[in-house]
A and B are shown apart, each in its own frame.
Chain A
């Protein structure tokens, strides 16, 4: 049941003392501050620890959330979901081909730039089509013009600065989770909306604070493959003039918020997303659903998460590489569900 703005107003007026949204705001800011300081002090260790602990787990929870949002029958949304699922696997497939083929003669520098440009343009085009399918019944029939204009501008940037655009996706991905949470709060916990907007507004302040603190720090030593990969993933190669200590800290800070959004905050604001409440998943609980398929997928996902922990313990560097290649699936899967919530 959605809570209306009137309900919010009434609750706000009748509340005495600190309400839950204020507590949420205070806890968020306190946790974010502690996290920023800890990561700023130990960026490499924080990167290794957070990915080890949360990478598999948050993927499982995201999958759980998406399955919970999938309708039993697609109906008029069939083109949207078909395009969404097709696009996710097509773009992920292209990405994997590039990943598997990396190191071969095909992938010299210009090959990589060209691939990044084409892939990013396809991603933007896919998002444009998805948004058009989502809003095809909208009243404003001129809405496609600004959308097309923005999409073309983004594609243009993707061609002019292909590798920087790929890095943008790395930093944009954590923010998508925050957008998800905003849409979810609007639906199920609107009394927290204002507090959450303040939380969102604090993120740039944290980033500015980190920049002031760490911009003159020496680069993270990249004398071993792991630290070099972590720095490179955060863009140290593309921004050699910026301290890699700062880049890694910002990346890990945003990723950590992303993990906690999926692990903690979304289940907190949406009772249907509480992991063990399988009865809230239409595809699982409804008689017309696919309970066996869904339960098998959940069990398989749990095994993958477990295998990920074991693999990280055995060979962290290789597992990290493989994880980030496979994780493109969940990065892409977030977009259609976000568009569906707009």
Chain B
């Protein structure tokens, strides 16, 4: 009992110390989430769309001589965009910008404390049950399997995208990148006085 109390004091003390560390940006710095589980007053988020009268085409060009991806925007369109934004406000509504839930600081601390206590009591139970009966073995096997599946899921979920996805080249049209449903990478944005179309030039890497 004494050991149990000491361990609990240690755990609580350790968790309290984490309060002083920087667990992440303070709530004031992070974007505020808008997701509400049962908010009856919610309605579908609206996208503020801007229709550019002067934009005729969007051209994607695969260029074998290009060294990097370039997005070329005509100056006339930029002026038009500035004018439109002046009347329509932002491209995106706040709902779209901040619709991802985040873990609050207090939630992290209490969650960590509870998890530590959970492991503490779980460990105590294992120590007190050195002779494992068949059902207990089954429970442990189940927990181990669950842990394995959980770890595998975490690893899989956090695995990086295929290399093709991380750079904008002609491969963004390949089936590999299409399966990822997105491609990301560095791009140079240029302006031009010629034409009235936005042009995306991607290197033709094979």
A residues with a Cβ closer than 8 A to B are 95, 98-99, 102-103, 107-110, 112-114, 116-117, 142, 145-146, 148-153, 155-164, 166-167, 222-225, 228, 232, 237-238, 240, 321, 324-325
Contacts and interface: CB of A to CB of B under 8 A. Distances in A.
Contact of A156 (B32, B40, B106, B115): B115
Nearest to B42: A232
Given A117-B107, A152-B115, A153-B115, A145 B37 contact: no
Contacts of B42: 232
17 contacts: A95-B38, A99-B38, A102-B41, A110-B27, A113-B104, A117-B107, A142-B125, A146-B121, A152-B117, A156-B113, A156-B115, A159-B107, A162-B101, A163-B35, A163-B101, A166-B38, A167-B37
A156 B36 contact: no
A175 to B, nearest CB: 16
A278 B77 CA distance: 76
Contacts of B139: 146
Contacts of A109: 32-36, 98, 101
Given A146-B125, A152-B117, A153-B115, A102 B103 contact: no
B118 interface: yes
A324 B38 contact: yes
A153 B121 CA distance: 10
Nearest to A150: B118
B107 A225 contact: no
A325 B40 CA distance: 9
Contact of B114 (A146, A155, A223): A155
B104 A110 contact: yes
A155 B103 CA distance: 14
B111 interface: yes
Contacts of B124: 145
Given A146-B125, A153-B115, A156-B112, A108 B107 contact: no
Interface string B95-131: 0001111011011101111110111111011001100
A103 B39 CA distance: 7
A264 B40 CA distance: 32
